[in-house]
Amino acid sequence: MSTKSLKQIRLLYLVSNLGTSGPTNQLYNLIYHLSPNLFETTLVTLSPEPALSSWNKFQSLRLKMHSLGLSRVSGVILNKVRLHRLLNAVRPDIIHSQGIRGDYLNSRLKQFPNRVATQRNNPLIDYPLLYGKISGQLMANFHLRLLKHIPQVITCSQSISETNNQLGLRSSFISNGIRYTPNHRELERNEKLALRIELGLPASGMLFVWAGPVIPRKMPETAISAFNFLPTNNDSYLCLLGDGPLQASCVRATRSKNVIFRGHVNNVGDYLNAADGFISTSLSEGMPNSVLESLAYGVPVILSDIAPHQEILSYSNKAGVLYPLRDAKKLAEVIQNSNFTKKHSDAARSIITKHLNSKTMSTNYQNLYFELMKHSADT
């Protein structure tokens, strides 16, 4: 469909807040590639911003931003009132939400035919781990019911869409994508050595990075147990990046001298540039940003064999290795036998440049918007 014949499409994105997270990064990537000649973009947040927020980052984009600034309690009623005032002013052609609170409001805006929701996780697994078994199950069921009232549900991976379809929730998928930049270039050996020294990391040996919130869903204890199983004279190192409620217990469980805890850092890219491999031990993912970032840096990956990880490596099995979920001994074997070379690094980077990049992701969403507008014009 030719975009020249289209008037400027008014988009309104609806989210809880812009707290630093994978979903927020993906929303930024989507908007970053939108043509201002084709789209007039408005971003609405429901709640005050947390301490770690991407609000200022979004302000660099060409869009209008509004915060309703309401708490979860006051927002139950006032969000609807303030949002309707804003909708009357903006008159969006398409409303696009992500997250349970945004999806709730989106599901009730039935006077707007063109409504989209992006689902970035598996609620049936993620919510019980985050909120407790009973509360989490109730929230998951509630969220999935909400999504049934939004005409276009888009998941961030094929595997999540397939799970939805098994549950009777009709959805399609647009895979997450990472912005590929000059920072992702391959470093020379001497550059990598200098970077390791600068970061205070071992100059020799295989360096593996684990990055993310230290929470049950990410299962960091599996990576630590794997290194506990390795021989004491092995020359592999694990550097864990991130904070969370399991941090203290992970430190206590560590017996290997080759495990390094760095907590939250703002220069994850430097650590990936210094690494030989990346490990993800997750129990559940949508389409993990941390894995995609690692691949963009040309870092081969060792991944638990959950469906989204399998989906990533289906683009190239030379980019990494799968191991059985929760099996620390098998993970230790994979680590000990890993011998990643330039061939594996090139395969890793090609997954991003050819498939899972932000420009492709954003283009796919733009094509969806064009189709929705075409359908509206035809009816």
In this chain, the answer to whether the domains covering 3-177+357-378 and 184-354 adopt an identical fold is: yes
Q: Which residues contact 212 (CB under 8 A, 6 or more apart)?
A: 218, 220, 241, 242, 280, 282, 288, 290
Q: What angle separates helix 22-32 from helix 358-378, to the nearest 10 degrees?
A: 70
- Of the chain, the end-to-end C-alpha distance in Å amounts to 17
Quick: pLDDT tens for 223-255: 999 999 999 889 999 999 999 999 999 999 999
Rounded average pLDDT over 298-302 = 97
| Lowest-pLDDT choice from 3-12, 37-46, 190-199 | 3-12
Indicate the average pLDDT of the chain.
94
| Lowest-pLDDT choice from 1-10, 294-303, 339-348, 355-364 | 1-10
Phi, psi of 48 (to 5 degrees): -60, 150
Quick: pLDDT tens for 115-163: 999 999 999 999 999 999 999 999 999 999 999 999 999 999 999 999 9
Is it the case that residue 200 has pLDDT exceeding 60?
yes
| Predicted pLDDT of residue 4 | 47
Is it the case that residue 335 has pLDDT exceeding 90?
yes
Question: What is the assigned CATH class of domain 184-354?
Answer: alpha beta
Cα 253 from Cα 249, distance rounded (Å): 6
Cα 46 from Cα 30, distance rounded (Å): 20
Cα 345 from Cα 366, distance rounded (Å): 31
| Three-state DSSP class for residue 118 | strand
Which CATH number does 3-177+357-378 carry?
3.40.50.2000
| Predicted pLDDT of residue 81 | 81
Domain boundaries, the chain: 3-177+357-378, 184-354
Cα 317 from Cα 350, distance rounded (Å): 12
Which pTM value belongs to this model?
A: 0.92
**CA 232-258-21 angle, 5° bins:** 145
Structure tokens at 205: 């040996």
Query: CA distances (Å), 372 to each of 1, 54, 305, 357, in order?
Result: 12, 29, 36, 23
